[in-house]
Structure 1
Amino acid sequence: MRLRDLLQADQLALKVLTGHDLLDRRVRGVATTDLPDPAMFVKTGELVLTELTWHTGPASSRDFVRSLGDVAALVAGTALKVPPADLIDACAEAGLPLLTLPVDVPFSQVTEHVLRALIVELGTTPPRPAYAARRRLASTLVDGGSLTKLVTAVAGELDVPCWVLSPTGRVIVGSQPLGVAARLRLAHTFLTARFLPGMVTQEDGTVLSVFPVGKGASHRIANWFLAYAGEQVQGENEDLIVELAALVALERSRLEAAQRIERRVLDQLLTLLESGDAALPGVVSRLHTLHVETEHGLVAVALSARLGGDGEVAVPVLDELLRPLAPGIVTATGPAEALALVPLAGNTAEELTNHVLRGARTLEAGLGEGRITLGVSSVTTGPAALSSLIEEARHALTLAALGGERVSVVTGDDVSSHRTLLAAIPGELRRAFRARLLGRLESYDAANQTDLLETLQAYLEESGSWTATAERLHVHVNTLRYRVRRIEELTGRSLNSWDERVDFMLALRMR
């Protein structure tokens, strides 16, 4: 069939915005996508349907149109009501026909019409049997079906279990339960594999395959992926997995489009707080709009994701790290930084910090030379303290960045402890200070198989109590006294001095 045949279908009510002289192009298939870069999911001659949720400005239109290659035409849906002028210009420049679809006509109706026309034209079922499955999958999602229904449908078609997972190993949806060990192994493979699709062999010898959801995210740590039982599928089943990946990416784009509205409200709140003129009613009003409650505890979490050229992953990464324990409202605060307001909702700040840190440790496998640093504020139960809460999270983030670890977290409690001072000291200076105070003890222990360093730490942590330290080390008090004298001889310092004890304690905390 040709494009002009589609325009004659009154029930579709398609209109041409650009490409009036290109309506003799043949349509050889149909695809639905809202990925910013759908290149791997569309094919030559296809009619591409999109709701435009990927659109963020002229550059996004140019990139999207460029990635379509030699498709037959682009059909714009209803997400933005009227296609933006920059998209019309990009299509005209690329020689790509752009059509529009009325609000009351679903994509599934266009898909159905095209597939039926191809069947009539060919006189039989199209050469690729996967078209029927693709049509069913697209109809499931476009007509309001959930991701769960979509994944269950594919699992039924393939006759194997199937899942959608995040890079921390969180199951988004799945056709059956999946154990923690398997989830973490899959996440590690997805993050570290040089090439995808990939495979994971479980302890019982069974094989799971890993398939990327799409090119939409700028880095794997911000993307989702598919997993299914068995080795990589071929033929029409491979087309089914590719189509599922595209539809999952589309659904994620829809979710992110809804989240962008929340981010705009949070951006307004942050601007208000930074202006210094934030009246309490205005703050409360915006928190209410965001459905953020403070009465059960609220914390601010700041994140920096430094990954070379992939600086736009901070928002999706922080959003992922908070889920599912305490999802908050996340927005970007810089090229590679994000901030979230997180209602604790029955959790403690310690539980939240540990949850975020576990997720970040999982992502560490995919960081390469990059880093993730986090700052977590203390807890407030009133909106009046919101400005200082955010400032505390940002200050904690700055301190976390001073460390050398690839993943590091500093909390509000850390900000008020000696650990803050230690973190602010350059690494070389910390190591030099430790070596000067403890170097001879470390060398003596290594050469003589003694435990003077352990004895020193126990003695300081027990506040210089001979009895408590001896019991902790399971030695006689006289043995302890001998060890302390030996420590003083080797270091040239007295443990009777409060200043000397502080120096030793700080040296023991330095690495």
Structure 2
Amino acid sequence: MTTVKTLLGLPGLRLRPLAGADLLDRPVTRIYVTELPDPGRYLSAGELVLSGLLWWRRPGDAEPFVAALARAGAAALAASGADSGGIPAEVVEACERHRIPLLEVPTDLSFSVITEQVVLALAAASESARKRLQAAADAPVETLLESASAELGLPCWVLSGLGRVVAGAAPLPVPAPDVVRRYAAKESGSLTVVPVEGRHAVPWLIAVGGPLSTAQAELAEELSGLVGVTRARMADPEPDLPGEARVVALRTEGSDESRDVLRELLPDGLLLKSTGDTSFAATTSSPSPAELSTVEPLVRASRILCGVSDPAPREEARDVAGYALAVAARRTGRVVVVPAGEVDAHELLLAGAPDGLRAALRRRVLGPLLEYDAEQHTDLVHTVRVFLECSGSPTRAAKALHVHVNTLRYRIGRAGELLGADLTEFTDQLDVYLALRAGDQAG
């Protein structure tokens, strides 16, 4: 890493510090020459600003110039007093006030010489940094990040596409899911984000705590490759699960990414089965709908569906997770997570029935009622459903339908005649309600 102090040691430049002697460890990322009175819009953090002070014409001109450097995060100001009779005292004072290191350039030194030597120093430092980073290629991700942070002069983190922090030496200044969402939406933010190289369905991202110069960006790309290699070498865990564990069934509609997504989602999970778009894993943890929503824009799948069993013997849990996944498939949304414990028993049972069987059940039980409604332009099917969902209470159903209770009783009686069923009897109610739910496209 090239610092302001590094530049003071370059042979032939003879730079002399006039202010900010305690700030010479600041990293320098590039050099920028300007004579604008307010160069703020053109500056970037970490730049060495080189100026002949042609903008200084009268007292008071130093404040806006130096303030602009401070706002932009400039590393230092290297100034020549060849055309101003030396460095004005107010420039020195402004640099002290805004904590900008001020380096005096000898009046006989060409700016082209300074630019050439600084550029060469930055290039040499970049190559050295790359070699030092490569020397840590076999180290864990945490060690790679420590080395990269030292070379870049900025904190670094590795994030999972699920919105988790994989590694990082310092607390992330913004929530990880927000960083991932901004990256997916191609929005800029306070962090620079670089994707980790690799072919995993769920990408990892490198977040760097600030804007990068060209040399820093190249180093971040090098880090991306090294972290990608490290990730590829990671062995799958061998979890020691109890006899009764939760099973998660995950489907990536329209893609074969389910295995990768499930393994990233459940790092402690044991993969049980994978058939491309659908995978099953046993685990002691619960999948996070928020994490799946975070990663969804980054995968090819049109939807991510997930069914989750309660802890149970493995084969039983896998069957239940599969039924919960079938319930999820009948619901709307790009990400749908259905815990089996939150689904009614009849819904789980129907979820396991093929579509043809569901349609046949609906026609066999409700056929006469459906035909009557179609011919008479009535809606007795809806009346029956509301009645059953009100636990067979005529009073509650009449109130829900905004009709008189006697009207409700007449309609239920007529529906019972058409169906050949007694809608006040539990077993008949159960058959009819299952047939009604069999026609649902959404749970």
* Superposition TM-score, scaled by structure 1 size: 0.47
Aligned mate of 1:341, from 261, 264, 282? 282
* Pairing 1:66-105 to 2, within 5 Å after superposition: none
* Pairing 1:225-304 to 2, within 5 Å after superposition: 225-230=205-210, 233-255=212-234, 258-259=235-236, 290-294=238-242, 297-304=244-251
Unmatched 5+ stretches in structure 1: 1-123, 201-205, 263-289, 345-351, 442-451
Per the TM alignment, residue 235 of structure 1 is displaced from its structure 2 partner at its CA by 0.8
Aligned positions, number = 309
Question: What is the match of residue 193 of structure 2?
Answer: 210
* Pairing 1:75-474 to 2, within 5 Å after superposition: 127-140=123-136, 142=138, 144=139, 146-155=140-149, 157-158=151-152, 160-174=154-168, 175-180=170-175, 183-191=176-184, 198-200=186-188, 206-217=189-200, 219=201, 222-230=202-210, 233-255=212-234, 258-259=235-236, 290-294=238-242, 297-308=244-255, 311=256, 313-323=257-267, 327-330=268-271, 333-344=274-285, 352=286, 355-368=287-300, 370-380=302-312, 385-386=313-314, 388-389=315-316, 392=319, 395-396=322-323, 399=326, 403=330, 407-408=335-336, 417-422=346-351, 424-426=353-355, 459-466=387-394
Question: What is the match of residue 24 of structure 2?
Answer: none
| 2:258–2:278 Cα contact (<8 Å) kept | yes
| 1:374–1:400 Cα contact (<8 Å) kept | no
Amino acid at match of 1:254: R
* Pairing 1:498-509 to 2, within 5 Å after superposition: 499=428, 502-504=431-433, 506-507=435-436
User: Which has the greater radius of gyration?
Assistant: 2
Per the TM alignment, residue 417 of structure 1 is displaced from its structure 2 partner at its CA by 3.3
Provide the rounded CA distance (Å) in 1 between the counterparts of 2:154 and 2:335. 36
Provide the rounded CA distance (Å) in 2 between the counterparts of 1:463 and 1:394. 29
Provide the rounded CA distance (Å) in 2 between the counterparts of 1:303 and 1:412. 13
Amino acid at match of 1:199: E
Question: Aligned residues: percent identity?
Answer: 24
User: What per-residue deviation string (whole Å, max 9, x for no partner) do you get for residues 309-343 of structure 1?
Assistant: xx3x33331122225xxx22336644455442313
Q: CA RMSD in A?
A: 4.9
Provide the rounded CA distance (Å) in 2 between the counterparts of 1:328 and 1:342. 5
User: What per-residue deviation string (whole Å, max 9, x for no partner) do you get for residues 120-158 of structure 1?
Assistant: xxxx8694532222233334453x4x4345435544554
Amino acid at match of 2:242: T
Amino acid at match of 1:460: L
Per the TM alignment, residue 242 of structure 1 is displaced from its structure 2 partner at its CA by 0.6
Amino acid at match of 1:249: G
- The 3 A distance-change label for structure 1 pair 334 and 161 is same
Per the TM alignment, residue 211 of structure 1 is displaced from its structure 2 partner at its CA by 1.9
* Superposition TM-score, scaled by structure 2 size: 0.53
Provide the rounded CA distance (Å) in 2 between the counterparts of 1:293 and 1:169. 25
* Pairing 1:55-74 to 2, within 5 Å after superposition: none
Provide the rounded CA distance (Å) in 1 between the counterparts of 2:288 and 2:271. 14
- The 3 A distance-change label for structure 1 pair 131 and 184 is same
- The 3 A distance-change label for structure 1 pair 334 and 459 is closer
| 1:460–1:505 Cα contact (<8 Å) kept | no
Per the TM alignment, residue 379 of structure 1 is displaced from its structure 2 partner at its CA by 2.1
User: What per-residue deviation string (whole Å, max 9, x for no partner) do you get for residues 275-327 of structure 1?
Assistant: xxxxxxxxxxxxxxx451416x412334344544xx3x33331122225xxx2
